[in-house]
């Protein structure tokens, strides 16, 4: 047995570690230069010239060129291939029209504006393509691979319910988005109400700001109703409340219109609703903490215990176990991971932080690492592990750097808002207070740079509501949006800022509690792949020792001799299949636990760590199997039938 340093796996892991270090340094340099450019940039982003916009955008109906003779070229509008294919067939067009009639009833609840027929045609085209792929593939796999492949045909009926599932998911996303945005919007409405502006003006003031994405869509519907359907502000609010699928938004709007009609205190009503929504938000985050703990336990149980049972079944009955293992690898692990993500997503509060990643760079680094792994080890399994680990590490490092910036901005918000409240009490307006805070106060380096950027824009005469806030944090954008609206409306009272400060502090505190409660499960997700690899090494050692101790022709009772390999036969596909199950389990466990704690699927650094530990465990398993085999041989007693 070769020593660890002499093995190719050791040098592969060393080269992989050096690649990760180089990649981290490169991404850190790029991210630092990007932040410096954002901090120096003031105002709106540079607009591209028309010819570049024409090359970057999709073909439009009218193309205006700014070179040569002045002319306007009109191009015919082209439908996508899917819609044109369905529309050309009379039968398919009739089916799409019937589907569109069914979709038309549910589409208004999604809050999106799209054609029901185009949606039906796209989905019908995708269903036809999937059917023409699944049926031949299932027949070929059934003949040449395994009879269980015929089960792929069961996926055909599921294709027809996917459009309805997508619509219901959009409705659920709208409800959850309103749940998250509504408390901040009520604070905004309360601030404007103190300045004498009603809820109708509060809705319209969100249009084009990009802070409340879902409420901005509802505000656009409200503006359409009042501008084109001849509704007054009060009637438009009532129509919005009646048609909104979210019960809290419906209660808020209809209750406000009732107070308005009866001459009640609408400002007091909004303050009461803000307090209620704050308590609901706290309860929702706390319930998510409890639910996500259950999801973490289920994920660890299913994606750790089931692979252990699968490994044992494969070794006890290799021929049948390999078929079951292939099914578990192709269907079981993806389904368990998908169900885990769906459960987390259904109860997770929405976060609108902006995180950008470069998938092409991650694929490039992944291919390079996979090529190095295959050149050193000639192992397809380590090639797959190296590709996944490197690609996930590339995305994860970039995401971690951006999340660190987000955390730095959000951690300074409570103190910054308290300082702004004190400056307001001392008689400063918000613009001068922000400039003074940037000069006198120290929060953290990242927030100090952001505040200096804001103060620079204010000193140039830019209005507070028109500031460009270069931050990825949604809470930070919300805070500066409220400050801008307070400065514009003149309705800022100390109570408004204190209420906003308390609300943001509560959200940050509960978010920290959520992340701390998931540390145990994230730790278990690191242990699971290594433990699976160790178990695989022990099983390989035991079965290898048994195969080595058996004579070439073992005599059974009655004088019947039987080849040893028929008793302990290890198919060549067994070990690679077990290693793939370990890698897939590590990927699934880390994906679910990371999504539950980090609130984004882009935080893949934990996935890379799990896959690396799985690879290290496979290297250790190779040596462990030899040690176990030697130990079993030494402990065997002659005369029992194995000596």
**Number of C-alpha atoms within 13 angstroms, CB side, residue 291?**
17
Indicate the SS3 state at residue 16.
Answer: helix
H/E element, 62: strand 62-64
Q: How far apart (Å, rounded) are the C-alpha atoms in residues 74 and 60?
A: 9
Is pLDDT larger for residue 326 or for residue 119? 119
283-308: average pLDDT: 77
Q: What is the pLDDT of residues 82-111, one digit of tens each?
A: 788 888 888 888 888 888 888 888 877 777
Whether the CB-CB separation of 168 and 156 falls below 8 Å is answered with no
Least confident of 24-28, 456-460, 514-518: 24-28
Taking residues 290-319, report their average pLDDT: 75
Alpha helix locations (H) across 426-518? 430-440, 445-459, 474-489, 494-517
* Alpha helices (H) in 229-305, listed in sequence order: 233-243, 247-262, 266-300
- With DSSP H G I counted as helix, E B as strand and the rest as coil, what are the percentages for the chain, rounded to 5? 80, 0, 20
Q: What is the pLDDT of residues 403-437, one digit of tens each?
A: 899 989 988 888 888 888 888 778 778 888 888 88
Round to whole Å and give the CA distance between 582 and 612.
11
The mean predicted confidence, pLDDT, of the chain is: 76
Query: Which pLDDT tens digit goes with each residue over 169-210?
Result: 888 878 888 888 888 888 888 888 877 888 888 898 888 887
**Tokens representing 261?**
């009609």
Residue 53 in tokens:
């916009």
DSSP 257-278: HHHHHHT--HHHHHHHHHHHHH
Whether the CB-CB separation of 233 and 200 falls below 8 Å is answered with yes
Number of helical H runs and strand E runs in the chain: 25, 4
Work out the average pLDDT over 258-267. 86
Instruction: Tell me the three state secondary structure of residue 110.
Output: helix
Split at pLDDT 50, 70, 90, the class of 555 is very low
Determine the pLDDT at residue 2. Answer: 47
Residue 26: pLDDT band (50, 70, 90) is low
> What distance in Å separates the CA atoms of residue 216 and residue 529, rounded to the nearest whole number?
45
Rounded Cα distance, 555 and 201, in Å: 92
- Token pair of 398, please? 């970039």
Task: Kindly tell me if the per-residue pLDDT of 460 is higher than 80.
Answer: yes
Which of 285, 284, 278 lies closest to 183 in space, CA to CA?
A: 278
Confidence label for 466 from pLDDT (cuts 50, 70 and 90): confident
Per the model's pLDDT, the better-predicted residue between 553 and 131 turns out to be: 131
Instruction: Enumerate residues 6+ apart whose C-beta is below 8 A from 441.
Output: 415, 416, 419
pLDDT band at 567; cut points 50, 70, 90: very low
Residue-level pLDDT at 275 = 81
Domains with residue ranges and CATH for the chain: 82-143 (no CATH), 181-264 (no CATH), 407-515 (1.20.81)
The percentage of the chain sitting over the pLDDT mark of 70, rounded to a whole number, equals 77
Bridge partners (DSSP) listed for residue 258? none
Q: Note the pLDDT of residue 19.
A: 58
pLDDT at 376: 80
pLDDT at 9: 53
Tell me the C-alpha to C-alpha distance, in Å, between residue 605 and each of 145, 594, 596, 622: 36, 9, 14, 26
């Amino acid at each position: 047995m070769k020593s660890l340093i002499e093995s190719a796996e050791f040098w592969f892991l060393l080269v992989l570690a050096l690649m990760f270090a180089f990649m981290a340094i490169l991404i850190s340099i790029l991210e630092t230069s990007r932040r410096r450019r954002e901090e120096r940039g003031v105002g709106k982003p540079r607009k591209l010239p028309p010819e570049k916009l024409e090359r970057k955008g999709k073909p439009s109906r009218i193309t205006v060129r700014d070179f040569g003779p002045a002319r306007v070229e009109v191009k015919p509008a082209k439908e996508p291939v899917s819609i044109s294919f369905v529309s050309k067939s009379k039968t398919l067009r009739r089916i799409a029209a019937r589907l569109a009639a069914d979709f038309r009833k549910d589409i208004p609840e999604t809050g999106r504006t799209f054609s029901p027929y185009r949606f039906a045609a796209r989905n019908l085209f995708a269903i036809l393509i999937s059917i023409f792929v699944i049926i031949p593939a299932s027949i070929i796999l059934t003949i040449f691979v395994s009879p269980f492949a015929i089960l792929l045909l069961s996926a055909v009926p599921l294709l027809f319910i996917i459009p309805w599932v997508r619509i219901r998911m959009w409705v659920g996303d709208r409800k959850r988005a309103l749940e998250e945005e509504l408390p901040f919007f009520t604070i905004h409405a309360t601030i404007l109400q103190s300045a004498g502006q009603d809820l109708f003006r509060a809705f319209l003031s969100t249009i084009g700001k990009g802070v409340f994405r879902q409420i901005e869509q509802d505000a656009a519907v409200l503006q359409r109703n009042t501008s084109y359907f001849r509704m007054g502000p009060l009637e438009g609010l009532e129509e919005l409340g009646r048609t909104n699928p979210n019960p809290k938004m419906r209660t808020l709007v209809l209750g406000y219109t009732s107070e308005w009609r009866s001459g009640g205190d609408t400002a007091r009503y909004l303050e009461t609703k803000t307090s209620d929504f704050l308590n609901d938000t706290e309860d929702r985050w706390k319930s998510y903490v409890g639910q996500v703990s259950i999801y973490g336990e289920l994920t660890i149980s299913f994606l750790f215990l089931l692979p252990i049972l699968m490994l044992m079944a494969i070794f006890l009955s290799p021929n049948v176990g390999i078929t079951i293992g292939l099914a578990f690898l192709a269907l079981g692990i993806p389904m368990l991971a998908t169900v885990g993500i769906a459960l987390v997503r259904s109860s997770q509060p929405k976060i609108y932080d902006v995180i950008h990643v470069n998938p092409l760079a991650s694929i490039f680094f992944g291919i390079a690492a996979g090529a190095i792994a295959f050149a050193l080890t000639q192992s397809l399994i380590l090639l797959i592990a190296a590709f996944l680990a490197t690609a996930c590490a590339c995305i994860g490092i970039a995401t971690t750097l951006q999340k660190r910036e987000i955390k730095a901005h959000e951690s300074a918000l409570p103190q910054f808002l308290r300082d702004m409240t004190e400056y307001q009490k001392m008689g400063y307006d918000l613009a001068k207070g922000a400039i003074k805070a940037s000069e006198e106060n120290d929060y953290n380096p990242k927030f100090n740079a952001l505040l200096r950027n804001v103060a620079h824009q204010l000193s140039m005469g830019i209005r507070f509501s028109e500031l460009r806030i270069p931050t990825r944090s949604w809470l930070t954008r919300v805070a500066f949006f409220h400050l801008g609206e307070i400065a514009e409306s003149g309705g800022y009272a100390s109570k408004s800022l204190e209420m906003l400060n308390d609300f943001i502090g509560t959200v940050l505190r509960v978010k920290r509690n959520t992340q701390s409660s998931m540390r145990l499960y994230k730790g278990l997700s690191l242990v699971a792949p290594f433990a699976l690899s160790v178990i695989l090494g022990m099983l390989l050692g035991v079965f290898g020792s048994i195969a080595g101790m058996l004579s070439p022709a073992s005599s059974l009772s009655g004088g019947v001799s039987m080849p040893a390999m028929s008793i302990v036969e290890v198919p060549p596909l067994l070990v690679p299949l077990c290693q793939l199950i370990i890698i897939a389990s590590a990927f699934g466990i880390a994906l679910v636990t990371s999504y539950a704690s980090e609130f984004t699927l882009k935080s893949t650094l934990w996935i890379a760590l799990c896959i690396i530990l799985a690879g290290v465990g496979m290297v250790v398993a190779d040596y462990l199997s030899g040690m176990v085999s030697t130990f079993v041989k030494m402990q065997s007693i002659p005369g029992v039938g194995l000596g």
